[in-house]
Amino acid sequence: MRLPKAGTIEVVPSILSADFARLADEIAEVTSAGVGMVHLDVMDGHFVPNITIGPPVIAKLRRVSDLVFDAHLMISEPAKYAEPFVKAGADHITFHIEVADDPRKLIDKLHELDCSAGICLNPETPVEAIADVAPLCEMVLVMTVRPGFGGQKFMPEAAKKIARIREIVGPDIRIEVDGGIDPQTALTVVSYGADTLVAGNAIFAKTDRIAAINAIRDACT
């Protein structure tokens, strides 16, 4: 599966806030809302203070879903583990500039594996850190919370970086935003140039997940 063409607004449910005891059912429910992607939060307990899932879980989920698997590697050694995640079924992999020894080499490796590549920057990381490599990617991920846990408060100053990134990458590369996204903040980040909205609690903390997804979509129109 490939990332949708840049410019179309995509609401991307983050499984970090889902019920891990019934992930297949949770993904099926958001699929019925017409989403095209699901965000897989991969944490190693080192780069971020939490541990989530690895390739074996993704491989199992791949058997039950045709959605684009958008894997966000919040790990200290993305180059070491990128290939196992691709082989498990990840369609797109985003890694952090803060831990990438040679981001260009990793981007090339992902492309060789027929996987799209993304670069991510934390709230405190300046846009200049990714300026050279962002145009080589299919997507740039802007964190509007500090990575590691769901349910955090949206950081408006971090979101403002989106406008500068859009200037750098132009219209043909997706800009994804992760952290505190709900109908109110979604409108803000889209106004800056984002087109890919990761939402966790705003979807999975609601009884009606389809209505929650539609509320975010409607806020951006």
Q: How does strand 139-143 pair with strand 116-121?
A: parallel
At 1 the pLDDT is 78
Beta-carbon contacts of 52 under 8 Å, excluding residues fewer than 6 positions away, are: 16, 41, 42, 43
Task: Note the pLDDT tens digit of each residue in 21-70.
Answer: 999 999 999 999 999 999 999 998 888 888 899 999 999 999 999 999 99
Q: Which long-range CB contacts under 8 A does 45-50 form with residues at least 24 apart?
A: 46/75, 46/76, 47/74, 47/75, 47/76, 47/96, 47/98, 47/99, 47/147, 48/74, 48/147, 48/148, 49/148, 49/149, 50/148, 50/149
- Domain residue spans in the chain? 10-219
pTM (two decimals): 0.95
Which residues does the chain have with pLDDT short of 50? Answer: none
At 46 the pLDDT is 86
Residue in 25, 91, 108, 178 annotated catalytic: 178
CA–CA dist 58, 47 (Å, integer) = 20
CA–CA dist 162, 75 (Å, integer) = 23
Task: Note the pLDDT tens digit of each residue in 176-189.
Answer: 999 999 999 999 99
Is 208 in the active site? no
Nearest to 215 by CA among 183, 188, 184, 187: 183
At 59 the pLDDT is 98
At 147 the pLDDT is 79
At 152 the pLDDT is 72
Burial of 85 (0-12, 13-18, 19+ CB in 10 A): buried
Q: In the CATH scheme, what is the code of domain 10-219? A: 3.20.20.70
Radius of gyration of the chain (CA): 16
- How many beta carbons lie within 10 A of that of residue 210, not counting itself? 15
CA–CA dist 135, 143 (Å, integer) = 18
Is 178 in the active site? yes
Residue in 41, 70, 91, 182 annotated catalytic: 41
At 213 the pLDDT is 98
